[in-house]
Amino acid sequence: MKVEIKEINSCMKELKIEVPKDAVSEEYENVYQELGKKVKIKGFRKGKVPRNVLERNYKDTVESDVMQNLISDSYFKALQENEIRALGKPKVDNIELKIDSPFSYTAIVEIVPEIKVSDYKGLEFTKKVVKISDKDVDEELKYLRERMAKYEVDENSPAEEHDYIIISFESFIDNTPDEEGKRENLPVTIGRKMIYPELENKLIGMKKGENKEIEITFPEDYTDKKVAGKDVKFNVTVNEVKKRILPDLNDDIAKEIGEYKTLEELKNTMKEEMIKMEGQQADTRLRRNIVDKLIEMNEIEVPKILVEEEMRLMFYDTQQRLKAQGYDLDDAAIELDKIKEGFKEPANREVKSYLIVDKISELEKVEVAEKEMDEKIQDIAKSINQDFHAFKQKMIENGSIEKLRNQMGRDKTLDILINDYTIIEKTVEKEEILKDMERADQ
């Protein structure tokens, strides 16, 4: 077998593969023999059909099978012999198949690029830790109180922000009825932006049984292209209003939340937990900054197939999160395609990060022992009340155990780098972290 390799770029190769004519003839013979054992043709006993009769009746089928068998065998052999780490399925083209001639074709394949990482040691970073104040605790307590809110049906009072209402409406775009924009008994919590925010705001002040026409002119650059730049009229009826009732902030709420005797005891515990959590978040930010610096210092090309897979995973996670929050994914106000497109840059960065960190893992000879794996799996299984052995077997079967091993290896590698680097810890206000995040998004 002959293999000519052409490098298209660092992430893609073209293989020109030629299979000797003897191997082609042998494959034809094998396929015809197997076919002869199975087919039934009138006038011939099963297994005794002459070759020329088979050729006359099944030529196209045999050629297709021969081609697939030759490609499958020769392609994987070419990868193995030339130590090529292929990703996904190849793009096969220029196929030439004749029974008494060599078989040839080209296969374009994406590959894991050769990564060269330089100057990754001896760096310096600042680890910013947010100071947790009593004000921060009060804000967190406010959110906790809101999550404990109860809702009571109110027959007479107008809807206010945070109230839970049930509405029905039909919409007209430029005076044309929009059948897809019709909803019956749609639950809405005012302020959560579960429908068009412009519409949601105008529901404030409406009472149960009230009907109202609401007209909105959407800007040309509105995210939902269906209504962008158009006049939309909503005919809305409020079917039910439930008022939000917040619990009082006193010792009783502390007792309801957990084994706390007083509100002050609850606040102290919350502060300790918030300080602990901020330490973990500060460590996460530090690790992200390290990875960003490594990407900046070692610019690499990334395979398109890996970026697309990362986008798919991010998109799936977003869909699940939106569902959990009660969003209707069929709602016109939620443009999933636009959301998916927004994952391109983060996915590209994520692929670069693990390719570079994996290369450093190789250079540092980082390994994840089986005992470490079992301890981690044990922790995960325990957290979700699963049997360790059954849970591990399930991870092996669905391939997630290797993903976990890779992630643990990357975490160990970053631990090694952090121990090597000069880390300056700095206490900052929350606003500084928010500004850092804004700059990172620009």
Residues 190, 296: one domain? no
Is the C-alpha dihedral spanning 298, 303, 307, 309 positive or negative? Answer: negative
Question: Is position 250 within any domain?
Answer: no
pLDDT at residue 371, rounded to an integer: 94
Q: Which of 111, 141, 163 is the last residue of a domain?
A: 111
Question: Is position 135 within any domain?
Answer: no
**Cut 0.85: pTM above it:** no
pLDDT at residue 338, rounded to an integer: 67
Question: Is position 255 within any domain?
Answer: no
Confidence of residue 442 (pLDDT cuts 50, 70, 90): low
Residues 269, 241: one domain? no
Residues 367, 429: one domain? yes
pLDDT at residue 78, rounded to an integer: 94
23-70: pLDDT as tens digits: 999 998 888 888 777 777 776 766 667 777 777 777 888 889 999 999
330: DSSP letter = T
The more confident residue out of 318 and 64 is 64
Residues 314, 183: one domain? no
> By the 8 A CB rule, do 208 and 241 touch?
yes
Range of the domain at 199: 149-245
Answer whether residue 235 shows pLDDT above 50.
yes
The Cα–Cα gap between 145 and 268 comes to 16
How many residues does the structure list for the chain? 442
The more confident residue out of 166 and 225 is 166
Answer whether residue 332 shows pLDDT above 50.
no
Residues 277, 395: one domain? yes
- Which among 338, 141, 166 has a CA at the least distance from the CA of 249? 141
Tokens of 377: 């799996």
Question: What CATH number is attached to the domain comprising 364?
Answer: 1.10.3120.10
Q: Residue range 420-432: average pLDDT? A: 93
Residues 46, 100: one domain? yes
Q: How many beta carbons lie within 10 A of that of residue 211, not counting itself?
A: 11
Q: Which of 82, 111, 140 is the last residue of a domain?
A: 111
Question: What CATH number is attached to the domain comprising 208?
Answer: 3.10.50.40
Question: Is position 233 within any domain?
Answer: yes
Question: What CATH number is attached to the domain comprising 36?
Answer: 3.30.70.1050
Answer whether residue 389 shows pLDDT above 50.
yes
Residues 282, 341: one domain? yes
Backbone angles phi, psi at 179, to 5 degrees: -65, -35
Residue 278 burial by Cβ neighbours in a 10 Å radius (0-12, 13-18, 19+): middle
Residues 235, 270: one domain? no
Residues 225, 338: one domain? no
Residues 43, 69: one domain? yes
Q: Residue range 355-360: average pLDDT? A: 94
High-pLDDT (> 90) share of the chain, %: 63
> By the 8 A CB rule, do 107 and 18 touch?
no
The more confident residue out of 257 and 240 is 240
Confidence of residue 119 (pLDDT cuts 50, 70, 90): confident
Question: Is position 119 within any domain?
Answer: no
pLDDT at residue 160, rounded to an integer: 94
Lowest mean pLDDT among 11-15, 414-418, 431-435: 431-435
Question: Is position 270 within any domain?
Answer: yes
Answer whether residue 331 shows pLDDT above 60.
no
pLDDT at residue 318, rounded to an integer: 81
Give me the long-range contacts of 200-204 (CB less than 8 A, separation at least 24).
203/159, 203/165, 203/167, 203/236, 203/238, 204/158, 204/159, 204/160, 204/161
Answer whether residue 329 shows pLDDT above 80.
no
Residues 309, 430: one domain? yes
Question: Is position 252 within any domain?
Answer: no
The more confident residue out of 410 and 47 is 410
pLDDT at residue 326, rounded to an integer: 66
Confidence of residue 218 (pLDDT cuts 50, 70, 90): very high
pLDDT at residue 314, rounded to an integer: 87
Confidence of residue 328 (pLDDT cuts 50, 70, 90): low
Q: What is the mean pLDDT of the chain?
A: 89
Answer whether residue 77 shows pLDDT above 80.
yes
Answer whether residue 133 shows pLDDT above 50.
yes
The DSSP-derived string for 336-386 is HHHHHHTTHHHHHHHHHHHHHHHHHHHHTT----HHHHHHHHHHHHHHTT-
Confidence of residue 224 (pLDDT cuts 50, 70, 90): confident
Domain count, the chain: 3
Residues 271, 219: one domain? no
Q: What counts of helices (H) and strands (E) characterise the chain?
A: 13, 11
For 15, the 3-state DSSP assignment is: strand
159-205: pLDDT as tens digits: 999 999 999 999 999 989 998 888 999 999 998 888 888 999 999 99
